[in-house]
Amino acid sequence: MGSSPLPVSLQSKFQRSQSTSRLRDYHGNFNILRNIIFALFVLRILRKSFYFLRGHGLIGSILVLYHSIHKNAYKMFLNLPGVRSQVSKQLEIAKKDMEDKLVPSGPGTNHYRHLPKEPWTKEQLHTELESLAAMKRTRWEEGKVSGAVYHGESSLLDIQSEAMRLFSVANPIHADVFPAVRKMEAEVVAMVLALFNAPESGAGATTSGGTESILMACLSARQKGYSERRITEPEMIIPSTAHAAFHKAANYFKIKMHTVACPAPDYVVDVNRVRRLINPNTVLLVGSAPNYPHGIVDNIPALSKLALAYKIPLHVDCCLGSFIMPCLAKAGFPSPWAEEGGFDFRQPGVTSISVDTHKYGFAPKGNSCILYRNRQLREYQYFICPEWSGGVYGSPSIAGSRPGALIAGCWASMMFVGEKGYVDATHKIVTTKLTIENAIKEHSVLKETLSILGRPMVSVVAFESFDPAISVYDIADAMSKRQWHLNSLQDPPGVHVAVTLPMTKPGAVDSLIDDLVAVVQGEKEKALDRLKAGGPIEKGKGSSAQLYGVAGSLPDKSIVEKMVVAYLDTLYKA
């Protein structure tokens, strides 16, 4: 009848002893578990420290630590009450300067901050558009701007406008409604794949620009790492000279980034350092062909070997190189790393390449391509949402709706320029780059002050000042007073010129060199005067000298960041 064989007192004693032994068991198991978790924790820290030490070396690791302490101490200093108010006062002044420069006001400028109640007439619009087009600006037509406008001839602009007008309503998200745009997009990708020697398996997509192409390459690599190797803390290794878009990708997609020095005298990425930073979390290696700052092509063959050995994807950023890189040999110039097998998909380790059709592909702005070695890599960048209440959704890249007009403009530009046109353009551009390079190396005034950074082989030539009395930023500022729009660089301090077609027009490059000689001469005289007066006065007063020379030398960049925020805010001041 359910009665226990044991007396009640004994029964409870037995149960108690049984439960304490069970408790002891639990306790024992818990201890083991705790020790295992602790050991895993320690192992993880050891593993991380090991990869950190191996990646940076002992001295390098100490330096990293030192810089971080230095930076934080400086940050604290900036937050001291007296310092902070001084900093914000200076920032306000800088802000005001920016507004005065970027947002002209006063008599004759109209500001429209509300929709017009009555629609404008065609004539009204025409007049206003004409006056907007005539706003005071740098004359790119005369070849006075580095980069920015890559072609600009009216014959091409007319073709682009026609193509864009015909397809201004087109949106490739509706491939069935706009079949022509789908066709043109596929053909643009196919033509660019062919230019970069993609294998049969090659695949690609168009994007809104170089930044989006780079974002997609990094996303694809991250997704590949997760799908195939369950990497949840992805890392990538880029040259310090790689484009800022990689920093953006790391930020957007939460990829830890390592930057590797590109030391003088050749300024290509140090491949041994890249190797030391590789660890089981590495999802992507990067090389530029060429990089933006110095126009130098990293050692893609060596990076390709590394990528193959460690089975890691390798992205080649050919955004800037775009159509010049594949045309160099045909235009009669040496092609970087040709003897080692080239810089593109001919290197078996290269898995993706970004190519800006809107740079030296001469397409309208808002065009670029991302190319992959195979379709699987492209699939990793796709976004698919099967459960959306708006219907099953899929899109290849960041945007949903996309401008079909830009694809039509790109396709038309490529067909209109053709291979011969690109080879001719390459010839003109690289010849002009050589003219500037030779002037800096050979002109008696320039060669005493300036030196070329590395051995540029494409369209960009960068220089620094090796005369300690002359700041290269003062040279940039003096050039901009003469209406030249060159680009300032940091680490090392420098200036570059990205040659585009407008600069190849007769007279443009000669006047660039003449002005550069006059400016350097002027800076030399100023330096001599300073020496006579016995003090470093009147140096580094210009805007680029201030931003890069003064603010740039600070250990913590929060002031520079605040200046950039102020600049970006100013852009939206109506």
Ligand X SMILES: *Cc1c(COP(=O)(O)O)cnc(C)c1O
**Least distance (Å) between residue 557 CB and ligand X:** 21
Q: Stretches 179-187, 189-197, 204-212, 484-492: which one binds ligand X (CB under 6 A)?
A: 204-212
Give the length of the chain.
574
Q: How far apart, in whole angstroms, are the C-alpha atoms of residue 436 and residue 520?
A: 15
Q: How far apart, in whole angstroms, are the C-alpha atoms of residue 3 and residue 8?
A: 10
Residue 319 C-alpha from the chain's centroid:
9
**Least distance (Å) between residue 171 CB and ligand X:** 21
Helix (H, G, I), strand (E, B), or coil: what is residue 250?
A: helix
Cα atoms found within 13 Å of the Cα of residue 296, Cβ hemisphere only: 23
Q: Stretches 171-179, 203-211, 438-446, 474-482: which one binds ligand X (CB under 6 A)?
A: 203-211
Cα four-point dihedral sign 221, 202, 228, 299: negative
- If the CB atoms of residues 454 and 542 are measured against ligand X, the closer one turns out to be 454
Q: Stretches 51-59, 130-138, 317-325, 378-386: which one binds ligand X (CB under 6 A)?
A: 317-325
Is 372:220 a contact under the CB 8 Å cutoff?
yes
**Least distance (Å) between residue 150 CB and ligand X:** 11
Q: Does 320 bind ligand X (CB under 6 A)?
A: yes
User: Site for ligand X (CB under 6 A): which residue of 235, 298, 317, 344?
Assistant: 317
- If the CB atoms of residues 209 and 342 are measured against ligand X, the closer one turns out to be 209
φ, ψ (nearest 5 deg) of residue 261: -60, 150
- If the CB atoms of residues 319 and 371 are measured against ligand X, the closer one turns out to be 319
**Least distance (Å) between residue 286 CB and ligand X:** 10
**Least distance (Å) between residue 361 CB and ligand X:** 11
Q: Stretches 27-35, 154-162, 208-216, 504-512: which one binds ligand X (CB under 6 A)?
A: 208-216
User: Site for ligand X (CB under 6 A): which residue of 171, 206, 259, 288?
Assistant: 288
Q: Stretches 70-78, 112-120, 158-166, 206-214: which one binds ligand X (CB under 6 A)?
A: 206-214
Q: Stretches 174-182, 316-324, 445-453, 508-516: which one binds ligand X (CB under 6 A)?
A: 316-324
Give the C-alpha distances (Å, rounded to integers) separating 425 from 290, 302, 306, 422, 462.
17, 30, 34, 5, 21
**Least distance (Å) between residue 291 CB and ligand X:** 6
**Least distance (Å) between residue 366 CB and ligand X:** 9
Enumerate residues 350-409 that contact ligand X by CB under 6 A: 356, 368
Enumerate residues 407-466 that contact ligand X by CB under 6 A: none
User: Site for ligand X (CB under 6 A): which residue of 151, 222, 224, 243?
Assistant: 243
C-beta nearest to ligand X: residue: 210
Q: How far apart, in whole angstroms, are the C-alpha atoms of residue 324 and residue 336?
A: 12
User: Site for ligand X (CB under 6 A): which residue of 143, 172, 204, 209?
Assistant: 209
- If the CB atoms of residues 1 and 571 are measured against ligand X, the closer one turns out to be 571
Q: How far apart, in whole angstroms, are the C-alpha atoms of residue 327 and residue 50?
A: 45
**Least distance (Å) between residue 535 CB and ligand X:** 40
Is 81:89 a contact under the CB 8 Å cutoff?
no
Q: 295: alpha, beta or left, given left = phi > 0 and alpha = psi -120 to 50?
A: left
User: Site for ligand X (CB under 6 A): which residue of 146, 160, 206, 211?
Assistant: 211
Q: Stretches 83-91, 286-294, 401-409, 511-519: which one binds ligand X (CB under 6 A)?
A: 286-294
User: Site for ligand X (CB under 6 A): which residue of 245, 255, 350, 446?
Assistant: 245
- DSSP letter for each residue of 55-110: HHHHHHHHHHHHHHHHHHHHHHHHTSHHHHHHHHHHHHHHHHHHHHHHS--STT--
**Least distance (Å) between residue 297 CB and ligand X:** 11
- If the CB atoms of residues 148 and 157 are measured against ligand X, the closer one turns out to be 148
Q: How far apart, in whole angstroms, are the C-alpha atoms of residue 138 and residue 144?
A: 7
Q: Which of 159, 157, 179, 181 is nearest to 168 (CA)?
A: 181
- If the CB atoms of residues 144 and 359 are measured against ligand X, the closer one turns out to be 359
Indicate the Cα dihedral angle 55, 58, 61, 67, nearest 10°: -140
- If the CB atoms of residues 206 and 291 are measured against ligand X, the closer one turns out to be 291
Is 335:328 a contact under the CB 8 Å cutoff?
yes
Per-residue HEC secondary structure of 117-179 comes to CCCCCHHHHHHHHHHHHCCCCCCHHHCCECCCCCCCCHHHHHHHHHHHHHCCCCCCCCCCCCH
- If the CB atoms of residues 55 and 210 are measured against ligand X, the closer one turns out to be 210
User: Which residues of this chain interact with ligand X, rule CB under 6 A?
Assistant: 209-211, 214, 243, 245, 288, 291-292, 317, 319-320, 356, 368
